[in-house]
Amino acid sequence: MSRLDEPHPPTASTSPPTDRVVGVLQLLVGRPAQAFSLSDIARALGMNKATCHAVTSSLTHADFLIRNPADKTFTLGPALVAAGRAAEDAYPAVRLAHTEVSALAGEFEMQATAALRSEGHLVIVARAGGDAGPTAGRVGQRIPLAPPFGGVFVAWDAPDVIADWLDRTERPASHEALLDSLAAIRQRGYSVERLTLAMVRLSHALAELSDGPLAENLQPMVAALLAELVQAEYLPRDFTGRGRHAVSVLSAPVFDAEGRTQMNLSLQPHRELSTLEIERTGERLRRSCRRITHAIGGKPPAGPA
């Protein structure tokens, strides 16, 4: 078992029936425009048809799913609308993020997202812009809170939280490099991740993993790629001169009332940018994050943020 899996082992569920219900909802939420037959759902989740029928019948009865009487396919139901609105009321930052993410995507003509921290993952809660390719982020997609991901969420956090994040890598010897990355994020006030072949491969793997909630065969690949990507952050010394830099993601923090990162806003250039373009994009991200932080009564920590 990898360190990535230790805090929340995917095979340690105490309620397989609940997992099946969650799996059905995750599958349909991940592809909201698609209608699924019973066979589609059973095949995607590795579930027998009798069990799948029982789960979908219960969800349909509770209006979490709608069953089309003509072709017998399932789509998301109206009860999820109420659940979504209640969730937004519980997280006012999410409602504000939709506006900022749309503005950022339009201004920079690239994909913009917002993500919340949840247990050992980051969950995308808003998205705009970009294409709909295999590496495009989707609302509801989960990303491991493990190096190199999530630096913006832990850079200003307590030492024990940082230590827990560091321990989620397969390469403990790289802790010094990761600490340098967190220092760079604090200094700039935002993260700048390198665009590499390994990062592209990882984006594809994560997209496939989120498409099939039970696709545990991809977990070893994700863990191996995470280990390869431990030093993904550009450091200040990398931006000397007039060169251009291949950038995967820029990300900035939204702080809560305790000064912890509650959410991040990100832009995904997936192309080369000049140092000046990186600085301008990063500062624009910070302005959006500061507006949300102020609106929710957040408290930026001391120092750059």
Instruction: Report d(CA 199, CA 188) in Å as an integer.
Output: 22
Q: Is residue 7 part of a domain?
A: no
Same-domain status, 42 and 122? no
Same-domain status, 178 and 284? yes
Same-domain status, 239 and 264? yes
**From residue 184, how far is each of 11, 179, 193, 235, 297 by CA, in Å?**
36, 9, 11, 6, 26
Same-domain status, 235 and 107? yes
Q: Is residue 302 part of a domain?
A: no
Quote the pLDDT of residue 268: 93
Cβ burial of 221 (10 Å; 0-12, 13-18, 19+) is: middle
Same-domain status, 159 and 46? no
Same-domain status, 73 and 152? no
Q: Is residue 4 part of a domain?
A: no
Number of domains in the chain: 2
What residues are paired with 115 via a beta bridge? 124, 264
Number of helices (H), then strands (E), belonging to the chain: the values are 11, 9
Same-domain status, 119 and 44? no
Which CATH number do you get for residue 27? 1.10.10.10
Instruction: Report d(CA 22, CA 30) in Å as an integer.
Output: 12
Instruction: Record the pTM.
Output: 0.74
Q: Is residue 305 part of a domain?
A: no
Quote the pLDDT of residue 213: 42
Q: Is residue 301 part of a domain?
A: no
Q: What's 285-296 look like in SS3?
A: HHHHHHHHHHHC
Which CATH number do you get for residue 187? 3.30.450.40
- Please state whether beta strands 121-128 and 142-144 pair in parallel, antiparallel, or not at all (unpaired): antiparallel
Instruction: Report d(CA 288, CA 26) in Å as an integer.
Output: 29
Which of 57, 82, 107 finishes a domain?
82
Question: What is the span of the domain harbouring residue 35?
Answer: 16-82
Same-domain status, 194 and 291? yes
Quote the pLDDT of residue 91: 80
**From residue 96, how far is each of 99, 247, 291, 296 by CA, in Å?**
6, 26, 9, 9
Take residue 148 and report the two structure tokens written for it.
């190199």
Same-domain status, 39 and 107? no
Quote the pLDDT of residue 9: 37
Q: Is residue 5 part of a domain?
A: no
Quote the pLDDT of residue 215: 43
Instruction: Report d(CA 22, CA 40) in Å as an integer.
Output: 16
Please give the sequence-ordered ranges of beta strands (E in DSSP) within the chain, or none if there are none: 65-67, 74-76, 111-118, 121-128, 142-144, 191-194, 244-255, 261-268, 271-274
Same-domain status, 217 and 133? yes
Degrees to nearest 5, angle at CA 84 with 80 and 89: 150
Take residue 137 and report the two structure tokens written for it.
């982020």
Quote the pLDDT of residue 65: 95
Per-residue pLDDT in tens (0 to 9) along the chain, 305 residues = 334 433 333 444 567 888 899 989 988 887 888 899 999 999 988 899 999 999 999 999 999 999 998 999 999 999 988 888 887 777 889 989 999 999 999 999 999 999 998 878 888 989 999 775 545 678 888 888 888 788 999 999 999 999 999 888 766 657 888 899 999 999 999 999 988 776 767 666 666 655 444 344 445 556 566 656 656 889 988 887 778 999 999 999 999 999 999 999 999 999 999 999 999 999 999 999 999 999 999 999 876 56
